[in-house]
Amino acid sequence: MHTVVVGTSGVSASDVLAVARGAARIELSEEAVAALAAAREIVDALAAKPDPVYGVSTGFGALATRHISPELRAQLQRNIVRSHAAGMGPRVEREVVRALMFLRLKTVCSGHTGVRPEVARTMADVLNAGITPVVHEYGSLGCSGDLAPLSHCALTLMGEGEAEGPDGVVRPAGELLAAHGIQPVELREKEGLALLNGTDGMLGMLVMALADLDTLYKSADITAALSLEALLGTDKVLAPELHAIRPHPGQGAAAANMLAVLKGSQLTGHHQDDAPRVQDAYSVRCAPQVAGAGRDTMAHARLVAERELASAVDNPVVLPDGRVESNGNFHGAPVAYVLDFLAVAAADLGSIAERRTDRLLDKNRSHGLPPFLADDAGVDSGLMIAQYTQAALVSEMKRLAVPASADSIPSSAMQEDHVSMGWSAARKLRTAVDNLTRIIAIELYAATRALELREGLSPAPASRAVIEAARAAGVQGPGPDRFLAPDLAAADAFVRGGHLVAAVESVTGPLR
């Protein structure tokens, strides 16, 4: 079983994915345990002094002016967790909660939070046991961190609230901890606050979205190439020398991927045969420019994610010189902006894919293909309504592209008067990624059918590999009208599972 060792210097994106989506086990490094103990000594020393220190011997947020006496501090830490576990709405996905908890553990292990080693060990034990706290959709404003989601996770560490066991059944958290031999934690000074005060939910969703989009952008290059081929378009616009004079890295990669798919095709280059056209439509000709811009957006988002993965986000923080200082590093703006930026790019990629699909179905623009790719147009409707579904998805993608980070709403009696809404940006990006997968699946379904309807000329070897693999996966080819939803579901699973990219790479080698 894969093991992820958490130290003091952060974690990698692959570590997050291994824990969130896989069964990776977590261990704490000796360095991390030592850093935890050293920082805790500093917090304990401050707690023993009569001077108030925020987060150690005071209230929180707008209530930070009250000095808390020693006998009430354990209650204070319990209370902040209980009161902040105020989420509502549907449950958040298991992988998101696991990423959230793991990334909080990452910051705790940095030695900047003042949390005791035994609390960190309990966090690791809960993850290793497959226990997933019940976290709800609403409750985070993306400032002071993802407060409500993290509070529900901290509640589980205390043996309170509800959690899902490894069997998928939701039970009282205390029962689940007992069943796995895990002792609930008794929080001490600063620990409740340290478990809540981070951008871990939005960062975890960013990491997972980047992983999914990496596959989807390759998939979109493939379906764009298949559509170009089915429309008898020209591949000359993909020549490397054309993209070298506008040297955006993503654009060059997208064009190279499309060229690799089209290598050996007998269908490209016939754009001046029966109905001469000087140029292909923008949705075909400019596919590398749009997909490339999205790739470059991902590169920027990945840089932000890498910086966050190396960060210790808490307030206050324990510094190496022994100071415990308040700060604003919990503000989610850096992550929120790129989450929104990715949603914009994904919406545009979905939009251009839908335009190519529509072109394949329109007999006036498809250069000889039957209307709606129907078997007997008029008797059969073909893929008419599949395009409606795709258009509906694209329309929602445009709504999801409206940035959450441009919004703010004051909270905590105006102490927290500007917030990032990064959690909301992350949640809508997850929906956008889900929709983009379906949009690409519908273009795949239309393009492969169109290629099979072209007679006399052979598609590229990579295109043939896609058709064969798709048909073997239950994505059916041309024929009379049938119940279409199962076909589209099969196409969705084919794209979502990475099988489309795998089919091409079996011929071309790794795509960029």
pLDDT of 413 reads 84
Rounded Cα distance between 134 and 127, Å, is: 13
Does residue 155 carry a pLDDT above 80?
yes
- Confidence grade of residue 14 (pLDDT, cut at 50, 70, 90): very high
pTM of the model: 0.95
The strand ranges marked E within 65-184 are 88-91, 132-133, 136-138, 162-164, 170-172
Find the range with the poorest average confidence among 149-163, 262-276, 320-334, 357-371: 262-276
Q: What's the first-to-final CA gap in the chain, in angstroms?
A: 30
The 10s digit of each residue's pLDDT in 126-153 is 999 999 999 999 999 998 889 999 999 9
Does residue 61 carry a pLDDT above 80?
no
Find the range with the poorest average confidence among 56-60, 76-80, 277-281, 454-458: 56-60
- 54 catalytic? Reply is yes
- Confidence grade of residue 60 (pLDDT, cut at 50, 70, 90): low
Q: Are 422 and 337 in contact (CB under 8 A)?
A: no
Q: Residue 166's closest CA among 184, 179, 185? A: 179
- Confidence grade of residue 381 (pLDDT, cut at 50, 70, 90): very high
- Confidence grade of residue 1 (pLDDT, cut at 50, 70, 90): confident
Residue the block writes with tokens 């078997």: 375
pLDDT of 276 reads 63
Mean pLDDT (the chain) is 95
Which of 54, 138, 217, 337 is an active site residue?
54
pLDDT of 71 reads 82
State the SS3 of 140-172: CCCCCCCHHHHHHHHHHHCCCCEEECCCCCEEE
Positive or negative CA dihedral for 233, 234, 240, 246?
negative
**Does 270 or 258 have the greater pLDDT score?**
258
Q: What percent of the chain has pLDDT over 90?
A: 86
Across 356-367, average pLDDT: 96
